[in-house]
Structure 1
Amino acid sequence: MKVIVVGCTHAGTASVVNIKNKYEDSEVVVYEKNDNLSFLSCGIALNVGKVIDTTEKLFYNSPEGLQKLGVKTNMKHEVLDIDFVNKKITVKNLLTDEVFEDNYDKLVLTLGSWPIVPKFEGGSLENILLCKNYDHAKEIIKRSENAENVVVIGAGYIGVELAEAFEMQGKNTTLIDAEERIMAKYLDKEFTDIAETEFKSKGVNVVLGQKVQKFNGVGNKVSEVVTDKGEYKADLVVMCIGFAPNTKLVKGKLDTLPNGAIIIDEYMRTSETDVFAAGDCCVVRYNPANDTRYIPLATNAVRMGTLIGNNIVNPTLKYMGTQGTSGIKIYEQCIASTGLTEEVAKNTTNYNVDSVILTDNHRPEFMPDFEPATIKLVFDKDTRRVLGGQIISKLDLTQYMNTLSVVIQNNMTIEELAMTDFFFQPHFNKPWSLLNTVALQAL
């Protein structure tokens, strides 16, 4: 069996490793445009903020590591076309410009995503950067050394983490987003208010509800970001508007969503026989809403890539879907969420949405110290099913959202969550777990 893997970051690396582990005699060939693989872009802000001292620590595998497994890794090779009928691909060696064909028995598409970059006037000025891969990370760190005024456009997780990192490095930092709140897809207002207050207290200029119009420059270098409501000085701009599936290669050839995300079944199979896909180029089954959505997360990617390894020959292990569980630390605030926020649930589903929010100390008050935590539960009033949750505390209590993810995945009700058995030990918690307590409040 010959397997060709196109693209090799998280889903691709997981696919390759698991295919070779399960089918040792298979021939696995990788084609990757970059000269590296398995780069954890979620760590770029940690590198910018000098929490991590070298960018190279953000790799967890390498071409050499895959070669030791018997994988043929072709770096700096771009796949130009795919002939699904004859099971052939056309490839260009980016170092030599040689174009050649290769054939496969099974094809794995782990094409990833790419930052959304609207066409702004002045967008080609120097020091307007993206934040996705290893080369971007090095460029951001290099150019930020001499920058005084840094503007981050986009207040999702990557944008807010970068804004914090730049501020901690003493930069005059501005964070701009067209939404009225930061991290609006992941958290409700009660939580984003706290996060925004943290930024403002550190001197970050949080600019919300404004759309970028253009960039002004001095010479060939950016000097100002212009929105529909103001102008902001900038020696360096980092674009973090969002991501889109990198699927131009298969446009019109595979079933996709309108945004290009490849539609797959529960075994990672596409609409073409013997063609699998995983990671940021695909849809995911979103359990809280019981639908399919585009949710690019590294956790989804490695899980889906692993499933390809199990299903490449026979469909054996089903995809369980995702709750979109995620976490972030902003200064002293540890934040996590899973499933639907109240706002997203009301705007994108037909559920009869309700929610409760609770602030309580994480362990008994008779202990020497204790820390307050705020937890929110989102549920459907008709079915009583738990739809989502969020937590914030200066103590790391984010694992509660991993537990709640399992609750959502298994369609549990607020009654069941209220009475679920969790341990009690005064060092760690109260007789009623925070999850019990917030579910009891919902009752």
Structure 2
Amino acid sequence: MKIAVIGCTHAGTAAIVNAAKLYPEAQITVYERNDNISFLSCGIALYVGGVIEDPNGLFYSSPEHLAELGVVTKMRHDVIAVDTEKKTLRVRDLASDSESDDTYDKLIITTGSWPILPRIEGSNLDNILLSKNFNHSNTIIEKAKTASKIVVVGAGYIGIELVEAFEMNGKKVTLIDSTDRILSKYLDPEFTEQTESSLKEHGIQLALGQTVTRFEGTDGKVAKVITTKGEYEADLVILCIGFKPNTELFQGQLEMMPNGALIVDEYMRTSKPDVYAAGDSCAIVYNPTGKHAYIPLATNAVRMGTLVARNLMKPTIAYMGTQGTSGIKIYDHNIASTGLTETAALDMGMDVKSVTIQENDRPEFMPTYNEVTLKVVYETDTRRIVGAQLMSKADLTQSVNTISVCIQNKMTIDQLGFVDFFFQPHYNKPWNFLNTAGLQAL
């Protein structure tokens, strides 16, 4: 059996390693256009900020490791054409510029995603950078050494982490986003207001509710960012606007969402036989709505990649869907969310309610305790939980993983009030704050 893998991303690495162990007789060939594999891009801000000094720890595999498993990894090889009917590939060696053909019995698409690049006048100026891969992170670090005024465009997780890292390194930082709140996909206003205040307290300028219209430069280097509401000086700009799936190869061949995300079933099968996909290149069922959605997260990617290998020969283990659970630390605030925000649910026309509590994590008779803010969103009629958000100076983020399981299992807000949680004064109260939220909803 010949297995071809396009892209050694998070999902690709998981699929490759598991397939090599499950099918030792298979001939596995991996095509990767970059010069490195398995880079944890979620660690870029930690690397840029100097928290991680040795970037080697951000790689969890290598061509040498895959070779030990019997996998042929062709680095700097770009797949330029695929015929899913004939099961053929056309590949270009980027080092020699030569081309060759290959065939497959099973194809695994783990091509990942790429930053969204809107057409903005002046975007070809020097010192306007992306933040996605290892080479990007090295360039950002090098350019930031001599930069004093840095503008980050995009107030999602990566943008927020970068502005914090730059500020901690003594830079003057501006954060621009077209929405009027940071992290608006993950948090409701009562949470983003606190995080925005924290950023402002540390001297970060927030330019929200405005869109970049052009960049102006001096001597070929960016000097100013112009938006719909103002202009901001900058000698370094990082674009973190969002991501899109790398699926151009399969236009017209495989079923896709409008944004190009490949649609797969619960066994990671695309619309063509023997073609599988995983990770940022595809969409999967989003449990809060029950519909396919594009949610590019490393956690989703490694799960999906592992399931591709398990289901390659026959349907074996079904994917349970995703809640899009994620977390972030902004200065001294630990924040996590899962599922839908109340804002997003209402915008989608869902009939939802929410309960918000502010509770101490431990009994007040203990020497120390910390306040936690928890919001749980649920359907009005069914009372099914569809989302939650948490913030605290103590690290209580794992509780959001618990609510993620509740959403996955279609539990109600009422049931949450009576879930069995242990009590020990070092850790919590007789009524865990998750119980308290459920009881308050009653």
TM-score, structure 1 as length reference: 0.99
User: 1:298 is matched by which residue type in structure 2?
Assistant: A
- Alignment partners' CA distance in 2, 1:334 and 1:26: 45
- Alignment partners' CA distance in 2, 1:334 and 1:24: 43
Question: What corresponds to 1:60 in structure 2?
Answer: 60
- Alignment partners' CA distance in 2, 1:322 and 1:84: 28
Q: Does 1:98 align with 2:102?
A: no
Question: What corresponds to 2:398 in structure 1?
Answer: 399
Question: What corresponds to 2:21 in structure 1?
Answer: 21
Q: Deviations over 1:204-253 (max 9, x none)?
A: 00110010000000010000100011010101000000000111111111
CA contact (8 A) 1:123 1:215 kept: yes
- Alignment partners' CA distance in 1, 2:14 and 2:32: 14
CA contact (8 A) 1:420 1:436 kept: yes
TM-score, structure 2 as length reference: 0.99
CA contact (8 A) 1:55 1:138 kept: no
Question: What corresponds to 2:248 in structure 1?
Answer: 248
Q: Deviations over 1:325-368 (max 9, x none)?
A: 000000000000001100011112x4311001110110000000
1:125 is displaced (CA, Å) by 0.2
User: 2:431 is matched by which residue type in structure 1?
Assistant: W
Q: Deviations over 1:58-96 (max 9, x none)?
A: 111111111111100000000010111211100000001
Matches within 5 A, 1:304-323: 304-323=304-323
User: 1:396 is matched by which residue type in structure 2?
Assistant: D
Question: What corresponds to 2:364 in structure 1?
Answer: 365
1:27 is displaced (CA, Å) by 0.9
Question: What corresponds to 2:284 in structure 1?
Answer: 284
- Alignment partners' CA distance in 2, 1:389 and 1:426: 25
- Alignment partners' CA distance in 1, 2:371 and 2:83: 58
CA contact (8 A) 2:105 2:274 kept: yes
Long gaps (5+) in structure 2: none
- Alignment partners' CA distance in 2, 1:361 and 1:433: 10
1:300 is displaced (CA, Å) by 0.4
Q: Deviations over 1:25-80 (max 9, x none)?
A: 11110000001111011100001111101333211111111111110000000001
Matches within 5 A, 1:15-414: 15-348=15-348, 350-414=349-413
User: 1:320 is matched by which residue type in structure 2?
Assistant: M
Name the SS for the 1:78 alignment partner: strand
1:414 is displaced (CA, Å) by 1.0
- Alignment partners' CA distance in 2, 1:136 and 1:249: 24
- Alignment partners' CA distance in 1, 2:185 and 2:95: 40
User: 2:395 is matched by which residue type in structure 1?
Assistant: D
- Alignment partners' CA distance in 2, 1:333 and 1:414: 26
Name the SS for the 1:334 alignment partner: strand
- Alignment partners' CA distance in 1, 2:102 and 2:338: 42
- Alignment partners' CA distance in 1, 2:152 and 2:82: 37
Q: Does 1:428 align with 2:431?
A: no
User: 1:392 is matched by which residue type in structure 2?
Assistant: M
- Alignment partners' CA distance in 2, 1:92 and 1:249: 14
Name the SS for the 2:262 alignment partner: coil
- Alignment partners' CA distance in 2, 1:106 and 1:323: 29
CA contact (8 A) 2:87 2:104 kept: yes
User: 1:355 is matched by which residue type in structure 2?
Assistant: S
CA contact (8 A) 1:9 1:112 kept: yes
Name the SS for the 1:283 alignment partner: strand
Q: Deviations over 1:364-423 (max 9, x none)?
A: 000001000100010001001011101000000000000000000000011111011000
Q: Deviations over 1:312-337 (max 9, x none)?
A: 00111101000000000000000000
User: 1:77 is matched by which residue type in structure 2?
Assistant: H
- Alignment partners' CA distance in 1, 2:20 and 2:190: 47
- Alignment partners' CA distance in 1, 2:284 and 2:314: 21
CA contact (8 A) 1:55 1:137 kept: no
Name the SS for the 2:263 alignment partner: coil
CA contact (8 A) 2:285 2:292 kept: yes
CA contact (8 A) 2:32 2:74 kept: yes
**RMSD of the alignment, in Å?**
0.6
How many correspondences in the alignment? 442
CA contact (8 A) 2:121 2:214 kept: yes
CA contact (8 A) 1:105 1:274 kept: yes
CA contact (8 A) 1:386 1:414 kept: yes
- Alignment partners' CA distance in 2, 1:128 and 1:351: 40
1:21 is displaced (CA, Å) by 1.1
Name the SS for the 1:37 alignment partner: coil
1:145 is displaced (CA, Å) by 0.4
Name the SS for the 1:197 alignment partner: helix
Q: Deviations over 1:152-182 (max 9, x none)?
A: 0000000000000000000000000000100
User: 1:433 is matched by which residue type in structure 2?
Assistant: N
Long gaps (5+) in structure 1: none
Name the SS for the 1:92 alignment partner: strand
CA contact (8 A) 2:265 2:284 kept: no
1:279 is displaced (CA, Å) by 0.4
- Alignment partners' CA distance in 1, 2:387 and 2:85: 43
- Identity of counterpart residues, as a percentage? 57
